[in-house]
Amino acid sequence: MKTPELPPFDHQPVKYSGPSADEVLRLRKQFLNPGIFMYYKKPLMMVEGKMQYVWDETGRRYLDALGGIVTVSVGHCHPGVVEAARRQNELLQHSTTIYLQPNIAEYAQKLAEKMPGDLKVCYFVNSGSEANDLALLMARAYTGNYDVIALRNAYHGGNALTMGLTSHRTWKFNVPHSFGVHHAITPDPYRGLWGRDDAHAGNKYAADVQNLIDFATSGQVAAFIAESIQGVGGCVVFPDGYLKNAYEHVRAAGGICIADEVQAGFGRTGTHYWGFETQGVIPDIVTMAKGIGNGCPLGAVVTTPKIAATLAARTHFNTFGGNPVVCAQGKAVLEVIDREKLQQNSLTIGNHLLAGLNDLKQKHNIIGDVRGKGLMLGIELVKDRTSKEPAKEECAQILESCKEMGLLLGKGGLWGQTIRFSPPMCVNIADADFLLEVLDHALARL
Ligand SMILES: Cc1ncc(COP(=O)(O)O)c(C=O)c1O
């Protein structure tokens, strides 16, 4: 079999002259916490990025089909984003919210304009974990209630509070956490009780939220939080009607609804700007990070004026949240998504990829499920389609083979059994065909 070739791309990487990958690995082992993990048996060192591609220290190019980790929304070092950050870096790098600064105010207005309903007030933070932590604080302060319902198979962060929301043993340390958090069953049409052939699956899964309210809480809850599509959990797309029904149960119990758009937002699902819109709901709080800044440390909590007002009961401060440089970058990202019609591109390329992945499923029995929306896609690998035993080792092997052929992918799911595709939204058809061809080769090598 001839190894697939990357589509041509007009960019000459700078000749790398820094420390070798071995030296960087040595420094990392000695001076960085061993808890921070790496992909690949022979770790990849990235030294340059341009749009959908990255280069290693030898000048070898890769298609970044994981998009950082769903962080690079509009393209590595997108010229519009780089220029906005450069201009602001030269003018004023740092200021906090104790002074007036135009960027944070203008950016908040632009972001609010993208939101439906009454979701018009922003609070900027530095990460997704911080955003979810703050959203929970607001929900509890606003409702006067304590209990929170999250979903199994969720990932909402790794700090003390969000580790409690996150629901995979892999990410949970054996320390006290999760106070007041209850996890409803995952509305997973592939592994769950009700599949895609059940038109009422959304309803049925949402009934577990009501069940938790009745049997695990006082009957009054502070919040329900869910990713609009579960990312780290392996690109799990909920059945139609799930969020609508779950939101109804939660609101009837005095709670508010939080949508975690850290991965699914900013046009990635293709059909909609926000992932929750694919379920026909409007949340009370939306949390964002990753793609919001195309890779810079920026997160946001957007909510209604009424909910936002509860934070004024005390003083709340975040030193770096909404600093002038990240706000300039975030504003540029919003502009690029619109100007370059990247939501539409996510739909076009995403549908092309989805069709190609479904074709691969016909050919390779190890693919148990193909799913996702736009450029948030996944394939779940199983040793056997009936038992659905997770094909964990094979998944890792596929990632290694694809890397050897110049394609970077992600994995997800409790057992690391799902391959994830979330490239920068600027990818084209030639990239998608390259991805499918490489994947086909890697599957054939198993
Ligand atoms: C859906 C979701 N929410 C929250 C987070 C946490 O974001 P961060 O790593 O920026 O704290 C992540 C990170 O992967 C995520 O995928």
For 143-160, the pLDDT digits (tens) are 999 999 999 999 999 999
Question: Does the pLDDT value for residue 3 go beyond 90?
Answer: no
| Nearest residue to 14 via CA among 57, 51, 43, 62 | 57
For 56-110, the pLDDT digits (tens) are 999 999 999 999 999 999 999 999 999 999 999 999 999 999 999 999 999 999 9
Question: Does the pLDDT value for residue 386 go beyond 80?
Answer: yes
- DSSP letters along 192-258, please? SSS-TT-TTHHHHHHHHHHHHHHHHSSS--SEEEEESSBTTTT-BPPPTTHHHHHHHHHHHTT-EEE
Share of the chain above pLDDT 70, in %: 100
For 310-332, the pLDDT digits (tens) are 999 999 999 999 999 999 999 99
Integer Cα distance of 334 and 343 in angstroms = 11
- For residue 88, count other CB atoms closer than 10 A to its CB: 20
Identify the burial level of 241 via C-beta atoms within 10 angstroms of its C-beta, where 0-12 means exposed, 13-18 middle and 19 or more buried: buried
Q: Is the CB of 232 under 6 A from ligand 1?
A: yes
- CA 294–ligand 1 middle distance (angstroms): 14
Integer Cα distance of 132 and 134 in angstroms = 5
Closest residue by Cα to atom 7, ligand 1, is 128
Q: How many CA atoms lie within 13 A of 324 on its CB side?
A: 16
| Nearest residue to 442 via CA among 388, 383, 400 | 400
Beta bridge partners of residue 421, listed in sequence order:
377
Question: Does the pLDDT value for residue 2 go beyond 90?
Answer: no
What pairing do the DSSP bridges indicate for beta strands 256-260 and 285-288?
parallel
What pairing do the DSSP bridges indicate for beta strands 181-184 and 376-381?
unpaired
Integer Cα distance of 177 and 159 in angstroms = 10
Q: How far, rounded to the nearest angstrom, does the alpha carbon of residue 348 sit from its chain's CA centroid? A: 20
Q: Which atom, in ligand 1's list, is nearest to the CA of 154?
A: 1
For 393-404, the pLDDT digits (tens) are 999 999 999 999
For 222-237, the pLDDT digits (tens) are 999 999 999 999 999 9
For 13-47, the pLDDT digits (tens) are 999 999 999 999 999 999 999 999 999 999 999 99
pLDDT for residue 177: 85
For 212-223, the pLDDT digits (tens) are 999 999 999 999
Mean residue pLDDT across the chain: 97
- CA 6–ligand 1 middle distance (angstroms): 30
User: Look-up: residue for tokens 């709901």?
Assistant: 281
What are the φ and ψ backbone dihedral angles of 332, each rounded to 5 degrees? -65, -35
pLDDT for residue 321: 97
Q: Which atom, in ligand 1's list, is nearest to the CA of 128?
A: 7
User: Look-up: residue for tokens 């799930």?
Assistant: 242
Beta bridge partners of residue 377, listed in sequence order:
372, 421
Question: Does the pLDDT value for residue 194 go beyond 70?
Answer: yes
User: Look-up: residue for tokens 């808890």?
Assistant: 35
Integer Cα distance of 333 and 350 in angstroms = 20
For 261-304, the pLDDT digits (tens) are 999 999 999 999 999 999 999 999 999 999 999 999 999 999 99
Question: Does the pLDDT value for residue 389 go beyond 90?
Answer: yes
Closest residue by Cα to atom 3, ligand 1, is 156
Share of the chain above pLDDT 90, in %: 99
Integer Cα distance of 138 and 128 in angstroms = 15
Best probe residue, ligand 1, of 262, 268, 287, 326 (max atoms within 8 Å of C-beta): 262
Question: Does the pLDDT value for residue 1 go beyond 80?
Answer: no
Integer Cα distance of 47 and 19 in angstroms = 11
Mean pLDDT of 192-199: 97
User: Helix, strand, or coil here: 363?
Assistant: helix
Q: Could you tell me the pTM of the whole model?
A: 0.98
pLDDT for residue 58: 98
- CA 356–ligand 1 middle distance (angstroms): 29
Cβ atoms of 186 and 152 closer than 8 Å: yes
Question: Does the pLDDT value for residue 360 go beyond 80?
Answer: yes
Confidence of residue 193 (pLDDT cuts 50, 70, 90): very high
Mean pLDDT of 7-13: 97
Integer Cα distance of 370 and 380 in angstroms = 7
Mean pLDDT of 166-170: 96
Return the HEC string of 39-66.
CCCCCCCEEEEEECEEEECCCCEEEECC
Cβ atoms of 105 and 270 closer than 8 Å: no
Integer Cα distance of 307 and 136 in angstroms = 11
Q: Which atom, in ligand 1's list, is nearest to the CA of 126?
A: 10
Closest residue by Cα to atom 8, ligand 1, is 128
Q: Is the CB of 260 under 6 A from ligand 1?
A: yes
Q: Which atom, in ligand 1's list, is nearest to the CA of 127?
A: 10
pLDDT for residue 178: 86
Supply the DSSP symbol for 8. Answer: P
Rg over CA atoms, the chain: 22
pLDDT for residue 168: 96
